[in-house]
Each structure stands twice: as C-alpha cells, then as structure tokens.
Chains A and B, each alone.
Chain A
Amino acid sequence: MPVIEARELTKIYGEVRAVDQISFEVAPGESFGLLGPNGAGKSTTMRMIGGTSLRTSGTLLVNGLDPEVNGPEVRANLGVVPQQDNLDNELRARENLVMYGRYFGLPYSYLRPKAEELLQFAQLTEKAAEKVDNLSGGMKRRLTIARALINEPRVLLLDEPTTGLDPQARHILWDRLFRLKEQGVTLIVTTHFMDEAEQLCDRLIVMDHGRIVAGGSPAELIRQYSTREVLELRFGSERNASLVDQLRDFGRLEVLPDRVLVYTEDGEAALEAVRHRGLVPVTSLVRRSSLEDVFLRLTGRSLID
C-alpha cells in the first residue's frame, strides 16, 4: 500500500488555484520531493497530507486513511517539520520535545529517555536545558526535526527543511535525514533548492503554479529535459543578450541576466568552438546539468528569483 496516494488533488483559495489537480503516489521507505519555486503549491500539499488544510476536491489517502476523516490516526503516523519553526520559545529544548510528545498520548516514562536520545541525534545534548530563544537558527531547525520524531512516525514531512541555514548546518541536517531514510522512514520533502532535491530525493515531482510539470528521479529528469553538460558563459551584462544570435547553432540556449547557458553534450568542446569564433567570455564554466536546468527548461524561469 502506498504511503501517500493523491488523485486530482485540488485546493482553491478564493480565486487562486493553489494546488491544481495533482496526482502522485509515494511508496513506503521512499524519499520523495516536491520541487518548485515559492507559491507553487508545495506547502499547501503538505498541509493537506496532514489534514490541516482541507482540500477543495480530489482524493487523498495517507496510509490508506483520509486525513480529513481520520486526522488523529493519520497524524500519529506523521512527523511534521513546518516551514517556519514553531517551537515554544518559553520552554527549554528538552521540554519542547517532551511536551510535544504528550500530544500523541505518550507517557512521560517513554518521553524523558526518548527526548535525550533525540537531543543527541540533533547534537543538542549540551543545549538541553537552554531556552529555545537562545538557540541558533540551525539548532532550532534540528530541534524541530527532533520534535517531529518524538512519536516514532513512519513518515516525515519536511517543508523547506534547510531554508535559511548556512552550508555547514545544511550538510549536518542532510546527514541526519539520510540516516532516518536508511532506517526506512519515508521522507517527503519540499524544497526550492535543486541541490537539496538531488541530495535527498529518490524521486520527485516538479511543481509550478499548483500543477505537476514533470516527475521522476533526479537523473531521469535531467536525462529527459536537459543535456549532459552545460556551458555557462559570462560576457558581461551588456553583451550577454547581443551575442545570442552568434551562439544559436550550438543548441538550446538560456539567456539569464548575468550569463548565457549553452546546453550541450560536451561542454569543453563547445567552449573551444565559442573561442574559435572569436567570442571571448569574461568567465566560463562547464558543469553537469542539474535540476535547476530542468526547471528552467520546463518553466522558463529559475527556481530562485
């Protein structure tokens, strides 16, 4: 049985179709991503899974149950990490875990030792007695994830888990999430960072304006919607656009304000040919295609404005 089964799932706020007839399934143990820019409908989808946003139409089953009918049963199986940390700033780190666990009917005899384990997992043992107010952004994020694990859920919903964190804090977090995945926890992650999606997700859907524009594993998506390599050329902001005509025959191009992207199977060869033509970029870079390129191809826009 799939962990999540969404059919024609739709959410309309007033005039806005926040989520527009999306269908997808998530298998147990899978790490599933919803990739898209802000406002694509990712968070709304997440809230519908937890039953805290009511769908306008369509069907949605979480572990075979409708979250709007069996809210408590569905949420007892979910660990929810919201986009914004909503920890209790008045309480200490340890108390935040214990008190949250109470909302799942769990006794203190279970919660106290469990909280210590989770604090260790989140590398917050030394901060256990600290008020949440005194923790750094990365620490709060890890505490929020630890809190979501207090009831040993089989499914973890992570809404933009690393937004606002520095690179080191992100890597620590990814490592923690990866460990959970190894233990069979199903991860459902929304993100607008392609590197995060590539790191964490076995499979993902790309969302834009509430609709699914593509789906598959990161490698499949790149294979399908992009070339093997990308040549990034910077000619200076004045000249980027004016040189486009001279590059047309190299293949697909994307002209961004600060650079021109040339989609090609062999980036070095393309760069050589560009130089041969007497065009000298200020800087150039050959890289492998990423999900960012997939998104650009599918929507004509970057993920991060």
Chain B
Amino acid sequence: MTDFVDTNALAYSGRALQPARQAELTRRWGWWYQAEWRLIGMKAYWSSAVGTALLTPVLYLIAMGVGLGTLVDAGSGGVGGVPYLTFVAPGLLVSTVVMSAGSELTFPVMDGFKWSKLYFARSATAASALQVSIGELVAVGVRFLGEAVIFWLVLIVAGVVGFGSWPMVLVAALAGLSFGAPLMAYAATLEEEGFQFSLVQRFVIAPMFLFAGTFFPLESMPLYLQWIGWISPMWHGTQIARMLAYGMPLPWWMVLLHLLFLVAVLVVGAVLAIRFFTRRLAR
C-alpha cells in the first residue's frame, strides 16, 4: 500500500480538456457516447446474438421452404403468384428484427433505472437524459441493422432474394425502431419488476407475429381482424420489404404511407421516451 501515484498530477494533470470544452463536446456528442457504451456492453452477448441471427433464418428457411412451402405451393401454387418461401421470407426478416425489440428495449431499460441504475450514473456525467434515451435507440438501431444484414445474407445464399433487395435491411431496422421506441418509453415508466414485459410478449408481440400479415396476406383475414396489421410496424415494414424482394405490386403512395406510419410511430415513441427518461433521471 505504498506505491502511490503523484496525486498532484492525478487531480490536475493538465491533460484533461477544460470543463467548458468537455461540456461543449458532450452537448454535441452525448447521444453517441451512450450508443457507444451500449454497443460495447453488447459484447457480453455478441457471439450468442450473431449465432441466433444466423440460425433463425436457416431454421425458417427449412421450415417454410421445405416444409410448409411445399404444401402451400402444391395446394394453391404459392401466394400472389410467387412461391410461398418468396412470399414469406421478407416478412420473416422484418418480424425477426421487430421481435428483437422485445428483448433489447425492455429489460435493459428497466435494468438501467432499477437494477444496475446505470442511467443514473450517466445522468451524473455531462450527458443529458435526452441524450441517454436517444443513444439507446441509436445503439439498438445499429444492432437491428446487423441482425437484418445477417438474415438478408442467408436469404441471398439460399437464393430467395437478389442483391437488389438490400434496402429491405434498412426497412427492417426502421420497423424495429418504430416498434421499439414506444416500447422503450413504456419500459421507462415501470417502477416495479418487469412482469409486464411477458404480457407484452404474449399479447402484443405474439399476435402481431401471427396476424400482421407475415404468414399470409392481411387481406385474407376477415376485416374485423385486419386492424391488427394496420397498427403493427411489422406489417407496414413487411409490405415494403415484399415490394423490394420480389416486386409485389404496391402503389407509390402506399409505400409512402407505410414509411410515414413507421417514422411517425418512431418519432412519437422517441418523444415519449425522452420525456419519461428526463422525468425519471431528474426529478
């Protein structure tokens, strides 16, 4: 216990930026510092995330292509004039990304407020609550992009889609954030244990996956059930992805409408998240 460093140099080495400069940089880049931390934190489960991202599309391809696809194609000659696998693949890509919002923006958010309290550690730095919430969305957006790219590459290798369909990767990440931002806002309001998240899983995510047009066209459902698709980022993303993947006919104004919906929900969710984060970190 004798090897002390020079505490004089420790307190003021003169190497650190001036506080005013620290504040200036953080006002501009605080959101990115948060994203950087979250992305580096993801390395804890990076390999399992990549493994899952690879395995999921492979399993889907086998089940939907070899299994269900064969049956559907034999029975009705595919969906909308294309083989079932071609129809279902873009939807699966989008829904896989959207569903991972259910894990990335629920418990980690609760952890930041309640268990590890890391958000409170962040709010003691030069960064603001607004930047912390935006940074979380940016980091998760990057993770979604990675997940979508891997899924898409598997589809390429399997010959299900062509290279020209690459923008569907962006659409999937957008749909993921569009569902994720309001979910994060909701998670930020929860003070107690996260049992609500399993309700979200069961009564929001699962019905969305089953009924929002991933496995069959939304129009084939009775009208009184179609609203599930209309309010689901999953369906709006899937429609655009289908157009990109195999040229499903979609008028330009419908594309615009789908995109507007996704962006609008993302913006509303982000604004709410900022508000709830701020309320909780500075009360």
Contacts and interface: CB of A to CB of B under 8 A. Distances in A.
A105 B282 contact: no
Contacts of B17: 104-106, 110
Interface string B15-36: 1110111111111011001101
A274 interface: no
A76 B20 contact: yes
A151 B123 CA distance: 15
Q: How large is the interface on A (under 10, 10 to 19, 20 to 34, 35 or more residues)?
A: 35 or more
B33 A103 contact: yes
Interface stretch (B97-105, B113-121, B210-218, B258-266): B113-121
Interface string B115-132: 011101111111110000
A183 B7 CA distance: 7
Contact of B22 (A84, A114, A149, A151): A151
Contacts of A105: 17, 21-26, 29, 33, 126
Nearest to A70: B23
B118 A86 contact: yes
A182 to B, nearest CB: 7
Contacts of A298: none
Interface string A92-130: 000100011011111000100010011011010000000
B122 A121 contact: no
Tell me the dominant secondary structure on chain B's binding face. Answer: helix
A100 B1 contact: no
Given A118-B10, A120-B5, A90 B16 contact: no
B44 interface: yes
Interface of B: 1, 3-5, 7-13, 15-17, 19-27, 29-30, 33-34, 36-37, 40-41, 44, 116-118, 120-128, 281-283
19 contacts: A53-B283, A54-B282, A71-B126, A72-B128, A73-B126, A75-B23, A75-B124, A76-B22, A78-B124, A90-B44, A103-B34, A103-B127, A104-B25, A117-B9, A121-B7, A151-B19, A151-B22, A151-B126, A184-B12
